[in-house]
């Protein structure tokens, strides 16, 4: 018996060899947050796998307040209890380097804000769709980014005893493509199909389960995103399309106005694609058997109308009411009107006018382009092939190959809602003015998680466009609440 245990721990040690956290290699840094000095140890560029494919991206920056090395506390947290904030830097499914604390226009960025509040921060880098090796083979196509984030989590779990922070309280954060990966990381913990990929990288022998997920405008559920987009935007023919060319991950992530747009009107061909695609959404939504918090079924009729649509509209009008309550706005936009509900007056939303106001940001097909030109087609390429399809609809009508069914599955958080190791807590945000994916997509994710028994905080911040980390006070208050 003893022998077996010894052999087993030796095997674990062998598997993890070279992945031990080394406490002695750090720099001490100090940054000013609102007049208060935040002093922390910075352990940067930790390669988190034993057999990296790319040592620029498969690295993690790890930060912890100096207090935690001196037996001190920040608020209620100390070296053993502090949650580990885990922000990925992925945008546009591009490669994302491990990020660092800093100030932007005098304001602390998310990592610095986390440190100031006593969190330990592990900021992972991850490979992305455009990376190549010396031979010109692609090295960051799906599922590389999610495998990397899992490997980084495994490193933290494997080294938990040696590192400050509680690796049982890892809280992931990300925006857009990074938001999708954050959600996927939370739900797909320890799922068997990722194992061969993690093994090939020499990931640390540990679980990749995390505690909680924060996801801003997740560009997820890619295989149903075209149908969702046309279900919402069908009939809205004006577009302000993004020009993705020349945008690096930073451009995606900062959403800094570097985004160029091309304006136009849908062609007849695009309009008929929209008509065809929107109907697929009805059967998809109905197949999910979604329910609201009171257990009432949310579904759609063949016309595309129904309780699910009413629920989505209500999420939007509730967001307006909240913005009005906190005096963020005073004047109602044209598409908000007062309607009688029994003997009460309540705000409601003219859906078509709302959509015309925010406009489309994408032309059909919004994600799986017939000619494989979208970022998502690029994501689903392989070592040799730059881009592929991930829906049968586009595959049948367009040119090019279909991606591997298993890989398409592995990139969609919706496939893991009932996974037994899935995170318990989720905070999902999608701005009311965000058109990068249909609001239906994050809404379905939130409802699906809620129906699977998870704790879900979902909201549609009023007037907010495509972006993240805009409400750090609320974000960290939420995290403080769930780690208690």
**Chain residues in the site for ligand DHB (CB under 6 A):** 91-93, 176-177, 219, 252, 375, 436
Question: What are φ and ψ of residue 143, in 5° steps?
Answer: -100, 30
What angle, rounded to 10 degrees, do the helices at 268-287 and 222-233 form?
A: 110
Q: How far is the CB of 68 from ligand DHB (least distance, A)?
A: 33
- Of 118 and 375, which has the nearer Cβ to ligand DHB? 375
Residues 92 and 95: their CA atoms lie apart, in Å, by: 9
In a 3-state reduction of DSSP, which class is residue 35? coil
Contacts of 289 (CB under 8 A, 6+ apart): 297, 451
Question: What are φ and ψ of residue 103, in 5° steps?
Answer: -115, 140
- Of 89 and 451, which has the nearer Cβ to ligand DHB? 89
Residues 165 and 23: their CA atoms lie apart, in Å, by: 13
Q: How far is the CB of 125 from ligand DHB (least distance, A)?
A: 16
- Of 93 and 231, which has the nearer Cβ to ligand DHB? 93
In a 3-state reduction of DSSP, which class is residue 451? helix
Chain position whose Cβ is nearest to ligand DHB: 176
Q: How far is the CB of 466 from ligand DHB (least distance, A)?
A: 6
The C-alpha R_g of the chain, in whole angstroms, comes to 23
Q: How far is the CB of 249 from ligand DHB (least distance, A)?
A: 8
Report the 10 Å Cβ neighbour count for 395. 17
Q: How far is the CB of 375 from ligand DHB (least distance, A)?
A: 5
User: For residue 44, what are its two tokens?
Assistant: 């940067």
User: For residue 74, what are its two tokens?
Assistant: 């920040």
- Of 31 and 225, which has the nearer Cβ to ligand DHB? 225
Q: How far is the CB of 379 from ligand DHB (least distance, A)?
A: 8
Q: How far is the CB of 474 from ligand DHB (least distance, A)?
A: 21
To which H or E segment does residue 61 belong?
strand 59-65
- Of 147 and 177, which has the nearer Cβ to ligand DHB? 177
Closest CA to 291 of 444, 458, 456, 459: 444
Q: How far is the CB of 220 from ligand DHB (least distance, A)?
A: 10
- Of 84 and 177, which has the nearer Cβ to ligand DHB? 177
- Of 256 and 455, which has the nearer Cβ to ligand DHB? 256
Q: How far is the CB of 17 from ligand DHB (least distance, A)?
A: 36
Are 201 and 48 in contact by the 8 Å Cβ rule? The answer is no
- Nearest-5° Cα angle at 126, 429 to 369: 65
- Of 205 and 250, which has the nearer Cβ to ligand DHB? 250
Q: Residue-wise over 212-222: b if at least 16 C-beta within 10 A, else e?
A: bbbbbbbbbbb
Beta strand 455-459 with 425-429 is parallel
DSSP 138: B
- Of 16 and 375, which has the nearer Cβ to ligand DHB? 375
Residues 302 and 426: their CA atoms lie apart, in Å, by: 31
């Amino acid at each position: 018996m003893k022998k077996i245990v010894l052999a087993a721990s030796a095997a674990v040690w062998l598997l993890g060899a070279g992945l031990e956290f080394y406490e002695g290699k750090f720099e001490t840094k100090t940054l000013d947050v609102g007049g208060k000095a935040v002093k922390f140890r910075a352990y940067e560029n930790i390669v988190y796998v034993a057999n990296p494919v790319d040592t620029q991206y498969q690295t993690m920056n790890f930060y912890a307040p100096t207090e935690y090395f001196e037996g001190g506390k920040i608020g209620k947290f100390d070296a053993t209890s502090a949650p580990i904030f885990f922000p990925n830097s992925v945008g546009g499914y591009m490669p994302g380097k491990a990020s660092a604390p800093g100030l932007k226009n005098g304001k602390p960025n998310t990592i610095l804000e986390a440190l100031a509040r006593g969190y330990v921060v592990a900021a992972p880098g991850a490979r992305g769709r455009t990376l190549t090796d010396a031979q010109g083979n692609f090295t960051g196509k799906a599922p590389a980014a999610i495998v990397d984030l899992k490997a980084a989590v495994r490193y933290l779990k494997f080294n938990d005893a040696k590192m400050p922070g509680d690796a049982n309280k890892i809280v992931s954060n990300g925006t857009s493509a990074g938001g999708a990966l954050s959600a996927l990381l939370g739900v797909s913990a320890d799922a068997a199909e990722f194992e061969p990929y993690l093994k090939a990288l020499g990931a640390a022998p540990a679980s990749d389960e995390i505690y909680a997920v924060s996801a801003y405008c997740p560009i997820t559920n890619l295989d149903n995103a075209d149908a969702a987009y046309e279900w919402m935007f069908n009939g809205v023919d004006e577009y302000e399309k993004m020009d993705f060319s020349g945008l690096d991950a930073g451009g995606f992530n900062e959403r800094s106005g570097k985004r160029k747009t091309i304006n136009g009107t849908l062609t007849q061909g695009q309009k008929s694609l929209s008509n065809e695609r929107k109907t697929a959404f009805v059967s998809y939504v109905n197949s999910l058997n979604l329910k609201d918090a009171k257990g009432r079924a949310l579904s759609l009729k063949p016309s595309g109308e129904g309780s699910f649509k009413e629920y989505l509209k209500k999420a939007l009008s509730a967001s307006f009411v909240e913005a009005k309550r906190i005096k963020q706005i005073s004047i109602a936009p044209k598409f908000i009107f007062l309607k009688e509900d029994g003997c009460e007056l309540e705000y409601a939303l003219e859906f078509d006018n709302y959509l015309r106001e925010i406009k489309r940001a994408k032309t059909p097909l919004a994600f799986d382009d017939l000619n494989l030109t979208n970022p998502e087609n690029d994501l689903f390429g392989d070592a040799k092939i730059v881009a592929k399809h991930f829906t049968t609809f586009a595959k049948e009508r367009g040119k090019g190959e279909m991606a591997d069914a298993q890989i398409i599955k592995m990139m969609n958080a919706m496939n893991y809602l009932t996974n037994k190791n899935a995170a318990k807590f989720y905070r999902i945000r999608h701005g009311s003015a965000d058109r990068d994916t249909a609001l239906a997509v994050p809404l379905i994710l939130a409802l699906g998680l809620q129906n699977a028994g998870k704790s879900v905080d979902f909201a549609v911040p009023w007037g907010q466009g495509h972006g993240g980390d805009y409400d750090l006070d609320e974000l960290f208050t939420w995290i403080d609440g769930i780690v208690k």
